[in-house]
């Protein structure tokens, strides 16, 4: 890890002492390209997936090693689902990993409409898988505010009682001697009366404690939070996506009047956990009749990973309920 990373695929945590705020600053480039190249998404779907991936990294960086944080955005519009996963690093010095995909109705989507409207009415869910012996933490709020970022802010305020602000930007850029490519960046800033349940051992038991502490926040702290929140609104797109300025340079431009502390940056990679064993496990729930329906004329059964595009070819007679060969002919 490096403290002066300026290019993409990294995240930096920081803290502002006076307003009692913490934040994270991320930039992604090839990671986003790896996610999008798995599918031929319309441009408005690409934009929503990019925004959701940035949100996932910003929120996910709070979780512990070997935990998985997932976002699920579901709606009744043409864009039915956006799903993302953030995998905490499996060891010291190793990168975190992120993946994402979207499900949509190509025939009904309006490519000229505001992207968020194409999701329709639905919900924004945060799911944290800790270990096999603990149930996952789940928080669900309605989609609101006209963007995924606003929905995420609503989630933290309603479910966690933590004022939160996101600034996210993405687009293509071409610098001298560099290839044309996609860059994305985002900052998350939170007013912290206490640590979020997202990083507690038993997250679901903390909401009452958080509510009491949030209600007792000093008025001066509230004013300080309002000040730094307004300052964050002044950041421009090039400062967010880089790479000309480092994380620290941008943060100093914004918060040079504050007591700013930063940590080492964390590398982010595109990663997927799919495998043939996991595909077999998921197929084991199907009956012989279902497997017969999914089997191709040549007697094989195929499955594709929506996240990474991996293609699996399986013998249906080795999956779940055995399919008699006479039924496959």
Task: Flag the least confident range among 62-66, 102-106, 318-322.
Answer: 318-322
For the domain bounded by 276-328, which CATH number is listed?
3.90.1280
Q: What is the CATH number of domain 10-270?
A: 3.55.30.10
Q: Which of 159-168, 238-247, 271-280 has the lowest mean pLDDT?
A: 271-280
Residue intervals of the chain classified under CATH 3.55.30.10 are 10-270
pLDDT at res. 176: 56
Token code pair at residue 225: 């939070």
Residues 174-206: tens digit of each pLDDT: 665 555 578 999 999 999 865 444 444 433 333
pLDDT at 133: 76
- Name the average pLDDT for the chain: 83
- pLDDT value at residue 327: 47
- What is the rounded distance in angstroms from the CA atom of residue 216 to the CA atom of residue 161? 12
Task: Give pLDDT, residue 91.
Answer: 83
Distance, CA of 158 to CA of 307 (rounded, Å): 30
193 φ/ψ angles, rounded to the nearest 5 degrees: -70, -25
Strand partners, 188: 24, 166
Residue 2 pLDDT: 39
Of the candidates 7, 24, 31, the one whose C-alpha atom is nearest the C-alpha of residue 244 is: 7
For the chain, give the secondary structure using H, E and C: CCCCCCCCCEEEEEEECCCCEEEEEEEECHHHHHHHCCCCCCHHHHHHHHHHHHHHHHHHCCCCCCCEEEEEEEECCCEEEEEEEEECCCCCCCCEEEEEEEEECCCCCCCCCCHHHHCCCEEEEEEEECCCCCCCEEEEEECCCCCHHHHHHHHHHHHCCCCEEEEEEEEEECCCCCCCEEEEEEEEEEECCCCCHHHCCCHHHCHHHHHHHHHCCCHHHHHHHHHHHHHHCCCCHHHHHCCCCCHHHHHHHHHCCCCEEECCCEEEEECCCCCHHHHHHHHCCCCHHHHHHHCCCCCCEEEECCCCCCEEEECHHHCCCCCCHHHHC
Residue range(s) of every CATH 3.90.1280 domain in the chain: 276-328
Which one is predicted more confidently, 325 or 50? Answer: 50
Q: What is the pLDDT of residues 79-129, one digit of tens each?
A: 999 999 999 988 888 999 999 999 999 999 999 999 999 999 999 999 998
242 pLDDT above the threshold of 70: yes
Q: Give the residue with greater pLDDT, 195 vs 228.
A: 228
pLDDT at 320: 54
pLDDT band at 222 (very low <50, low <70, confident <90, very high): confident
Kindly report, residue by residue over 25-41, the tens digit of the pLDDT.
999 999 999 999 888 99
Check pLDDT > 80 for residue 210: no
Residue 145 has pLDDT above 90, yes or no: yes
55 or 176: whose pLDDT is higher?
55
Q: Which of 102-106, 128-132, 152-156, 163-167 has the lowest mean pLDDT?
A: 128-132
Q: Is the previous residue joined to 317 through a cis bond, with omega within 30 degrees of 0?
A: no
pLDDT at residue 51 greater than cutoff 80:
yes
**The pLDDT of residue 308:** 82
- Give the Cα-Cα-Cα angle 167, 236, 176 (nearest 5 degrees): 120
pLDDT for res 278? 80
Residues for the chain: how many in total?
Answer: 329
Q: How confident is the model at residue 167 (pLDDT cuts 50, 70, 90)?
A: very high
Phi-psi region of 311 (alpha: psi -120 to 50; beta: other; left: phi over 0): beta
């Amino acid at each position: 890890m490096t403290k002066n990373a300026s290019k993409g695929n990294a995240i930096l945590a920081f803290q502002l002492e006076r307003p009692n705020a913490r934040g994270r600053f991320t930039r992604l480039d090839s990671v986003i390209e790896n996610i999008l190249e798995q599918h031929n998404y319309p441009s408005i779907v690409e934009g929503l997936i990019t925004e959701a991936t940035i949100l996932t990294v910003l929120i996910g960086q709070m979780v512990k090693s070997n935990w998985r944080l997932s976002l699920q955005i579901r709606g009744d519009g043409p864009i039915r689902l956006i799903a993302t996963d953030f995998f905490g690093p499996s060891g010291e010095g190793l990168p975190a990993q992120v993946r994402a995909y979207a499900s949509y109705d190509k025939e009904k989507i309006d490519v000229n409409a505001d992207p968020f409207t194409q999701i329709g009415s639905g919900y924004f869910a945060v799911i944290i898988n800790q270990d096999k012996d603990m149930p996952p933490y789940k928080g669900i709020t309605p989609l609101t505010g006209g963007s995924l970022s606003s929905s995420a802010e609503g989630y933290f305020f309603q479910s966690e009682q933590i004022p939160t602000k996101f600034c996210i930007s993405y687009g293509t850029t071409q610098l001298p001697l560099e290839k044309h490519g996609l860059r994305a960046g985002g900052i998350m800033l939170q007013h912290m009366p206490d640590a979020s349940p997202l990083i507690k051992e038993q997250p679901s038991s903390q909401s009452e404690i958080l509510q009491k502490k949030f209600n007792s926040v000093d008025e001066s702290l509230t004013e300080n939070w309002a000040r730094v929140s307004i300052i964050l609104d002044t950041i421009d797109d090039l400062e967010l996506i880089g790479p000309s300025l480092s994380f620290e340079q941008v943060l100093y431009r914004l918060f040079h009047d504050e007591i700013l502390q930063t940590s080492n940056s964390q590398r982010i990679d595109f990663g997927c956990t799919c495998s043939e064993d996991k595909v077999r496990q998921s197929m084991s729930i199907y009956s012989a009749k279902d497997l017969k329906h999914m089997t191709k004329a040549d007697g094989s059964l195929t499955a594709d990973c929506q996240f990474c595009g991996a293609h699996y070819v399986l013998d249906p007679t080795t999956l779940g309920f055995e399919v008699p060969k006479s039924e496959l002919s």
